[in-house]
Amino acid sequence: MSRMKESLEDLFLQISNVYSNDRNIIDTWWQRIQTAYAEKHRHYHNLNHIKSVIDELYSCKDDINDWEATCLAAFFHDIVYEPLRKDNEERSADVADIYLSNLNMPEKQRNSTRQFIIATKKHEPLKTADINYFTDADLSVLGWPLPLYENYVRQIREEYKWYPDLIYKPGRRKVLEHFLKMDRIFKTDYFYSKYEVRAKENILSELARYK
Confidence of residue 3 (pLDDT cuts 50, 70, 90): confident
How high does pLDDT run on average in the chain?
96
Q: What is the CATH number of domain 8-210?
A: 1.10.1300.10
Confidence of residue 187 (pLDDT cuts 50, 70, 90): very high
Among 142, 83, 94, CA closest to 118: 94
pTM of the model: 0.96
Mean pLDDT, range 84-107, rounded to an integer: 97
CA distances from 57 to 28, 90, 132 (A): 25, 22, 11
Mean pLDDT, range 37-53, rounded to an integer: 98
pLDDT given for residue 13 in this prediction: 98
Amino acid identity of 136?
D
Rg (CA), the chain: 17
Rounded Cα distance between 55 and 2, Å, is 7
| Cα-Cα-Cα-Cα dihedral sign, residues 58, 184, 49, 107 | positive
Rounded Cα distance between 55 and 76, Å, is 16
